[in-house]
Amino acid sequence: MPVGTITRGTTNTNRLRRIDRWTQTLPVLRRSADPLVVDLGYGASAVTSLELHQRLAKTRTDVEVLGLEIDPARVRGASEQLEAVRAGQTGFAPDAAVRFALGGFEVPLPAGRRAAVIRALNVLRQYDEADVLPAWRMLVTRLQPNGVLIDGTCDEIGRIAAAPMARRRSRSRCASTASTSHRSWPSACRRH
């Protein structure tokens, strides 16, 4: 049973472009032996997961994106969108290493895999404050050593964003979270 609560699920094309560009710069993505990125709570459309893969593949051609949603209807909808991608009916690469599955904060991954990056944008802001820290603690256990959890929020068209980050330093402990704003992102991330 997925851990969490179904949220609004609103999203837009290019909404997370700045966070995606910033994610491209993360050392763990560039260096990981298993460049698995989880898009947790992608919402009512698969577009943010597909865009995430498209952008990260420019940095790491073997990146794999797993979109997780707690709502089975959203997983079915994303899978239908992925069928159109595979059929060459969209602007996304038909062979994009993207898949969708049912899951929440437990981040179900096969065979002991851990994510290099977990992106949970516009998810936890919809939870009670008391529920956020337990969710973060659960999520970081699903990261590779030096893996990064990106939580945060942005406006509906992605112009304004805030993304605190937690990094898993070793197998046994996590670093404290650090906050970042778009002003501290590399200049490539601030482009419109």
Terminal Cα-to-Cα distance of the chain (whole angstroms): 39
Return the structure tokens found at 93. Answer: 């690469």
Separation CA 120–CA 44 (nearest Å): 14
Confidence grade of residue 175 (pLDDT, cut at 50, 70, 90): very low
pLDDT of 125 reads 61
Q: Which pairing describes strands 36-40 and 165-167: parallel, antiparallel, or unpaired?
A: unpaired
pTM for this prediction? 0.81
Over its C-alpha atoms, the chain yields an Rg (Å, rounded) of 15
Q: What is the pLDDT of residues 52-82, one digit of tens each?
A: 999 999 999 999 999 999 999 999 999 999 9
pLDDT of 191 reads 39
Q: How many CB atoms are located within 10 Å of the residue 13 CB?
A: 13
Return the structure tokens found at 154. Answer: 């942005």
Q: What is the pLDDT of residues 88-110, one digit of tens each?
A: 999 999 999 999 999 988 999 98
